[in-house]
Amino acid sequence: MTVYAKPEEFGLADLLCCAASREVADNEIVFAGTGLPMVAIMLAQKTHAPNLKLIFEAGTLDGRPPEIPTSVGDARCEMGASRSSGLNDAFSIAQRGYVDLGYLGGAEVDQYGNVNTTCIGDYLEPELRLTGSGGNPDINSFAKRTVFIMVHEQRRFVENVSYITSPGWRVKKWPGGEFVHRRELYGAAYHGGPSAVISTAGVFRFDSDSGLMYLDTCHPGKTPEEIRGMCQFDLDISRVKGETELPTREDLRIIHDVLDPNEIFIPKVRQG
């Protein structure tokens, strides 16, 4: 029987982790990045999706790490894996179309799900240079679905990102840079695109025709109007289904007792 945790028993990171975990179905092939997504996938592996196949970008295929790796290059990744290889394998497999789902992050996201991890401000005169793309655009190009996990601030949810690192639903067609629907540009290489953004305020999805983001569920304590006010674009709140599903007590036990006991990625909420 599913027993949901009480609001005082979990933190925002727990809620995000569980919401992300629920995006994956059993038997799917999942591309995992460092951090909270890794905890989310391993939570799914230990709950509703025991047969999911985990690929780490650095070269681990069908990994079953005994403890949370600190990054995808970590020696922990390949313990119990089907195969330990390299990036040429991991990206070839992804481009070949094997990947169902990828978890990604970003500094900015726009109304079409375009994500920026490269720079804040004008690329040629940046206010702040960030990490750069990493595998973000690759996984977002190759996977059937991608899920973005992000901090929700108004400055991060913008009408158009200052630099499209990772392509969403309406993207730039070069050399002119006019916006076209992703399907038009990708042709036979079209596998899908961003399916959800899980922010610290709610869960967002995309209209398949317009490519526009809409609010799907609100995290506890947030109203649709409040969340719309946290975006620089006119967020569609007409399709809200209600509140984001809460973590169960079993989810919390697995996260804190099994996966991340040292609180490397997810701090434990202590009551009283």
Partner 1 sequence: MSTNKRITLQQAAEIIKDGSSLTFSGFTIWRRPMAIIFELIRQRRKGLHLIEVNGGSQTEFLVGAGCVDIWESCWVGHELYGKYGANLSRKVANKEIIVEDYSHAEMMFRFAAAAQGAPYAVTQTSLGSDIHNPEYDMLGRAGLRDGKRIAAHKYQFTEDPFFGAGSQVLIPAARVDIAVLCVQQVGEEGTVRVNGQYYSDPEVARAAAITIVMAEEIVPEEYLRRNADQNTIASFEVNHILECPFGAHPTGMFGRYDVDGAFLKDFYSRTRTQEGFDDFANEWIYGQDHISYLEKLGWPRMLGLKANTALNYSPRISKGGK
The only residue of 37, 135, 202, 247 in contact with partner 1, by rule CB under 8 A: 135
Spell out, one character per residue from 174 to 213, where the chain touches partner 1: x when CB under 8 A holds, - when not. Answer: xx-x--x-x--xxxxx------------------------
62 lines the binding site for partner 1 (CB under 8 A): no
The only residue of 19, 36, 54, 58 in contact with partner 1, by rule CB under 8 A: 58
User: Annotated catalytic residue: which of 57, 67, 159, 184?
Assistant: 57
Question: Exposure of 72 by Cβ count < 10 A (0-12 exposed, 13-18 middle, 19+ buried)?
Answer: buried
Give the residue with the Cβ less far from partner 1, 78 or 216: 78
Give the residue with the Cβ less far from partner 1, 178 or 209: 178
- Amino acid letter, 185: L
149 lines the binding site for partner 1 (CB under 8 A): no
Instruction: Report d(CA 86, CA 88) in Å as an integer.
Output: 6
What's the Rg (C-alpha) of the chain? 18
- Where residue 268 falls (left for φ over 0; alpha for ψ -120 to 50; beta otherwise) is beta
Residues sharing a CB contact under 8 Å with residue 271, sequence separation 6 or more, in sequence order: 8, 9
With vertex at residue 102, the alpha carbon angle to CA 101 and CA 108, rounded to the nearest 5 degrees, is 135
Give the residue with the Cβ less far from partner 1, 159 or 225: 159
158 lines the binding site for partner 1 (CB under 8 A): no
Site for partner 1 in 90-109 (CB under 8 A): 91, 94-95
Give which of 13, 48, 14 is closest to 30, Cα–Cα: 48
Q: Does 250 qualify as catalytic in the annotation? A: no
Instruction: Report d(CA 31, CA 204) in Å as an integer.
Output: 20
Active centre residues (catalytic): 57
Name the site residues for partner 1 (rule: CB under 8 A). Answer: 34-35, 56-60, 67, 70-79, 84-88, 91, 94-95, 118, 123-124, 126, 128-138, 141-142, 163-167, 171-175, 177, 180, 182, 185-189, 261-264
